């Protein structure tokens, strides 16, 4: 996987890599050790206190009784200021503006924590393609010639083969479909390996999944989903954040929360407002 730093970031090359290359790149050095430690502390605190949260693509884990060892912490913006910094990192914002359009938004920011012995996931593609196993529910002809998703994984614990680093099949983002048995996902998959603080940016139409944690340590990451401005977000973040947080949000964060793109609107009312000259 190609690796960049803030200094070597090359948005044009990265966008090409995401869309028509392997589908994923790594950044190092975007976050300080202090930020990583703080994010990890907050996530573990919430997840220890409040383990049972909705999670996805767990397949056989439920039957195996290991489901509680893969835990989510949702709505991270409400849980620590460090997550707003992570979501709006300027190097990521610059690439994402080129990839998803300058008005892009955030669909979700959550943590995925896999405890030792915890399960992996079934290979999948991410929101808003995540129910593409029923392609007939999407517009006819939908393909991955342009992106409706970008995923950022900020690694908080060593991501190794043993600890369950995300598996993905490079190049599959171009196909926009779910893998089948015949695709031999696990035979072809590479891993998103990294150290705490490393950040993986990928096009979530690439087949991927968390892998089982067979190490003796936690495997925790912040997962952020970004979308073009007109895609309905996965998490209702404005609905879940306190009014004073929303009032104080900086311009980049307001954009990510969808405030720059007001639709749906009651246009009957909007017309009246316009007529009064208030917009
Ligand atoms: O945590 C991971 O390694 C990947 C998680 C993921 O792909 C998801 O939850 O959609």
What pLDDT score was predicted for residue 59? 64
Distance in Å, CA 126 to ligand 1 centroid: 9
| 50-74 confidence digits (pLDDT tens) | 766 656 666 665 656 666 888 899 9
Say which CATH architecture domain 2-278 belongs to: Sandwich (2.60)
User: Left if phi > 0, otherwise alpha if psi is -120 to 50, otherwise beta: which for 31?
Assistant: beta
- Say if CB 95 and CB 86 are below 8 A apart: no
Q: How far is CA 275 from CA 125, 203, 262, in A?
A: 45, 43, 18
**pLDDT digit string (tens) for 148-189?**
999 999 999 999 999 999 999 999 999 999 999 999 999 999
Separation of alpha carbons 3 and 197, rounded Å: 13
Locate all alpha helices (DSSP H) within the chain, ordered by sequence.
11-20, 33-49, 61-64, 81-87, 90-100, 185-188, 237-240, 243-248, 251-256, 267-275
CB–CB of 122/59 below 8 Å? Answer: yes
pLDDT above 70: percentage of residues in the chain = 90
Domain boundaries along the sequence of the chain: 2-278
- Residue 90 has a CB neighbour count (10 Å cut-off) of 10
Mean pLDDT by 10 residues, the chain (279 residues): 98 98 98 98 90 63 68 95 98 98 98 94 96 96 97 98 98 97 97 98 98 96 98 96 97 98 86 56
Distance (Å, whole) CA 227 – CA 81: 22
Whole-model pTM: value is 0.93
Which of 23, 43, 57 has most ligand 1 atoms within 8 Å of CB, for mutation?
57
């Amino acid at each position: 996987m190609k690796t960049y730093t803030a200094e070597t970031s090359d948005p044009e090359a990265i966008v090409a890599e995401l869309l028509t290359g392997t589908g994923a790149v790594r950044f190092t050095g975007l976050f300080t050790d202090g930020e990583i430690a703080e994010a990890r502390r907050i996530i573990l605190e919430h997840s220890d206190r409040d383990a049972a949260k909705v999670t996805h693509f767990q397949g056989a884990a439920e039957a195996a009784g290991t489901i509680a060892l893969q835990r989510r912490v949702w709505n991270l913006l409400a849980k620590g200021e460090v997550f707003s910094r992570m979501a709006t990192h300027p190097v990521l914002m610059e690439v994402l503006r080129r990839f998803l359009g300058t008005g892009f938004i955030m669909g979700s920011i959550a943590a995925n924590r896999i405890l030792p012995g915890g399960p992996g996931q079934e290979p999948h593609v991410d929101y808003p393609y995540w129910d593409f196993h029923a392609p007939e529910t999407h517009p006819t002809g939908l393909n991955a010639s342009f992106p409706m998703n970008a995923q950022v994984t900020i690694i908080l614990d060593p991501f190794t083969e043993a600890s369950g680093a995300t598996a993905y099949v490079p190049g599959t983002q171009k196909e926009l479909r779910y893998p089948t048995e015949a695709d031999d996902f696990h035979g072809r998959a590479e891993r998103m390996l990294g150290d705490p603080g490393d950040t993986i940016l990928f096009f979530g139409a690439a087949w991927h999944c968390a892998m089982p944690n067979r190490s003796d340590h936690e495997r925790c990451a912040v997962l952020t989903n970004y979308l073009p401005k007109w895609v309905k977000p996965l998490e209702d973040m404005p609905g879940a954040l306190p009014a004073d947080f929303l009032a104080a949000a900086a311009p980049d964060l307001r954009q990510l929360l969808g405030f720059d793109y007001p639709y749906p609107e009651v246009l009957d009312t909007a017309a009246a407002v316009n007529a009064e000259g208030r917009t």
